[in-house]
Every structure is written in C-alpha cells, then in structure tokens.
Amino acid sequence: MSARRSRAREALENLLKNCDYTAVQIFGPYPPTPPRTRWRVQIYEPLTKTKRSVTLATREEAELLIPQLREEIARSRPLSCHDAIRQFVAYKETYVQPQSVKMIGERLLSFLPDMPLAHINESKAQQIYVAETKRVGKFGPIKAASHHASLRTTKEFFKWLVKKSLARSNPFAAVEPIGRANAGKVQPTETDAQKLDAVLFEAARAGEEGALALLVQLYLGLRSSEVLKLEVAAVEREGRKVTVIRGKTRNARRALDLFPKVSELLWPLCLDRPGTERVFARHLPRCPAPNYMWKRMHHYCRSAGIPEYCPHSLRGLHSSLALVGGATSHHVAASLGHASFATTAKHYADPSAVDNSRAKRFVAAMKPADGDPLAQLVASMTAEQKARLLELLTTR
C-alpha cells in the first residue's frame, strides 16, 4: 500500500512541476486491456494536456487510491493570490474601517492575477505593475496616483505575507512607481468659491436638498460619504452642532460647529424626524454613493459659471481658508478627521495657505503685538488698565 501511494505521489509531484495545479483532475479507475493486467488511475491537467498514470493490481486498490490522490492535491495545492488576498482582508477587518477594507480588497483583486503566489517573482511583479500603468479605465488612462496606490497596497500585502510565512520574499519590494502623482484635488479659487457659495445658498433657501448638503460639506470640511451618512440625531443645538459618528478612518469621529446661516437651513430639515434617519437623500432605500454629490456639485458649478470642481475639493478649500483665517494646523487636521496635519498639508491644504499660516505663527511668536491693532492697544496699556479691562470683561 505504501509503495502504491509513493508511486502516486511521485506521479503527482512530477505533474505539478510542469503545469498549473488549479485544474488537476483524477479519472478512473480504468480496467486492464489485453495484454495489460493492471487497473489504471489517470492524473490529468487540461491546460497543458499533461497526463500521468498510476497502475494497480486490483480494482479495489484503484478505487481506494482516488480519494487519497484528491486529498494529496488539496494538501499540496499552492496558495493562490486571491485566496491570500482574502486572508489579508480578514486580517485588515480586525482594525480598519469597513469602507477602507472593501477598497483594499477590490484594489488588490483587480491588480493581482489569480495565480499561485510562488509564480510571482521580481520579473513578474514588474510586468504586472507596468501593465497596470498602461491600462485604460472607464475615464481614460489610469492616473499615476491610482497605480501608485495599488503598488503601495501590494507591497504592504506581500510584506504581511512574508511576516506570516505565506511567502518567501516580497517580489514588489524593488518595483519603483512610474510617473508623478498629483497630490490633492484642484481647489476653487476664492472668487469661484464665493460664486458657488452664493448659488448654493440661493438654491438651499429654495428647498434644494443637494445644495444644502454641499453647503454642509463646504462649511464643515466633511467627506461626501460623511455628509450622506449623517443622521438626524447627529444634528443638535438647532443645527449649530454636527457630530460625525463614523467615517473613513478611526479619527473620523468629531463634533463640529456649523456656520449659523447654514444651521438655519439645516435645522428645519431635521425637525420631527426619527434620529436614526439619514438627513439627506432619505427618500432613497439606501445611502447613495458619492456620485450623488458629484452630480449636484457639477450642476451648481455650471449655474455659477465656474469650472466643474469635484465635491472633495471643498475639503481642501475648507482647510486652506481656515489656515488663512488663522486656525492652527492641529485644529484644521482634527476638523477634517485626520490623525496628522501631514495628510492635510499633502492632499488638502493649498501650499501657499500652509506657508502663510506658518509665517503668521512665526510673526506672532516673534512680535506678538506687531500687525494687530488690538494687540498693540493692549500692549500699550498699564497694568492697572489691563486689570480694569479684565474686570469689565468678566463681569459682563
């Protein structure tokens, strides 16, 4: 019996060395045909049409061998890319937001072919990436930012595989990104922003819900998904306080103060409604995709006579104007739901706004009274006058 299994295993190993494992089939048992006297079990791989046969003395032995061979195939089958991706996604689900996990899985599944992990060497990894840079998507050639993101995620994926002893090495480690990615979205100029603001307020006052949703996004710096998932219970203090319960990252939860003129429009929309109901697009059976905001943004941009900006650019505009207005980098990052201002500066804030904010903080630290009439006035006051001013302010 052991000699028979040894011969079968050897035949199977020889087959798998020269072909793909994924479609291996077992046929038989076939009875002996003269002048042969032994029963035959055939191992077949249809892709390369490769065959290996194992012969046995009796039909009973042949029938016993078939399930053993199938078990051997299942045990020796190499881990495929897509099976490994599913394991990686399951690991990510333990600490990453569901929306981000879904994006990671879809990105890897579309980027990597479903082939044995062991078949991806450095040369194959380079071929896969170069092919991705040349791919034409729904909206034209793939942007550098998109294939850079796929490469980063794949490098992280293989690094995890090596750590878990599921891969011997990271074949993508030496693959360099091609092209230069544009960081962030094109933001409206201040003039365009003012035109858009006027159009949105006019439409929102006329009862257009999409315009109000964009005003909330603009004045709070929210993601489109955060606006669309906003629930009635998250709007408090007559619309002046809006709490983002969940979002793309763990830093997404935050409570924000809304501009009074926007809160005056938002609050009536929330009155006498269940707390768990969505504020916007409540007539739809489920939360709409971000494309909902894109369509409305483009409509109002056309009405304002300005270029068709994307809704996400409103987050960048929010952060840039906040920095120009004197907000600290920490507060701007927190309002956008970022753990670090580095993300804000790279993808959202206008570089000139970041630089001007730093310059203002430098001047404030070096010469706190210069350039600020009120600060100059307070600096010129005597100690008694300052004490009297403080007394008047605290008693009102």
* Euclidean distance between CA atoms 130 and 145, whole angstroms: 14
Q: What is the DSSP letter of 118?
A: G
Look at 303 and 52; give whichever has higher pLDDT: 303
Together in a domain, 61 and 111: no
Structural domain boundaries, residue 144: 81-163
Sheet holding 50-56, edge to edge: 25-30, 39-45, 50-56
User: pTM of the prediction?
Assistant: 0.52
Mean pLDDT calculated for residue range 175-184: 78
For the segment 317-339, the average pLDDT, to the nearest whole number, is 45
CA 308 to chain centre: 24
- DSSP letter at 115 equals S
pLDDT at 331: 43
User: Is 358 among the domain residues?
Assistant: no
Q: How many residues are recorded in the chain?
A: 396
Do 92 and 56 fall into the same domain? Answer: no
Structural domain includes residue 359: no
| Domain assignment present for 32 | yes
CB of 217 closer than 8 Å to CB of 224: yes
- Are residues 187 and 316 in contact, defined by beta-carbon separation less than 8 angstroms? yes
In a shared domain, residues 206 and 342: yes
In the prediction, which pLDDT does 9 show?
A: 61
pLDDT in tens, 344-382: 444 444 443 433 343 344 334 334 555 556 666 766 778
**Does residue 294 lie in a domain region?**
yes
What average pLDDT does range 25-29 have in this prediction? 90
Q: What is the CATH number of the domain that holds 333?
A: 1.10.443.10
The pLDDT confidence band at residue 122, using thresholds 50, 70 and 90, is: very high
Cβ neighbours of 391 (radius 10 Å): 10
Percent pLDDT > 70 in the chain is: 73
Low-confidence winner among 17-31, 164-178, 283-297, 303-317 (lowest mean pLDDT)? 17-31
Residue 158 located in a structural domain: yes
The verdict on 249 and 218 lying in the same domain is: yes
Paired strand residues for 42 = 27, 53
Phi/psi at 52 (5° precision): -135, 140
Tokens of 20: 């793909």
- In whole angstroms, give the CA distance from residue 161 to residue 88: 8
Residue 217 and residue 339 share a domain: yes
DSSP H helical segments within 134-283, as ranges?
A: 144-163, 190-205, 209-220, 224-228, 260-270
pLDDT tops 70 at residue 188: yes
Average pLDDT over residues 306-314: 86
Mean pLDDT of 114-126: 91
| H or E, element range at 26 | strand 25-30
Angle, vertex CA 45, rays to CA 43 and CA 46, nearest 5: 130
Per residue in 86-97, pLDDT tens?
Answer: 999 999 999 887
**Residue 313 domain-assigned?**
yes
| pLDDT reported for residue 221 | 79
Based on the structure, what is the number of domains in the chain?
3
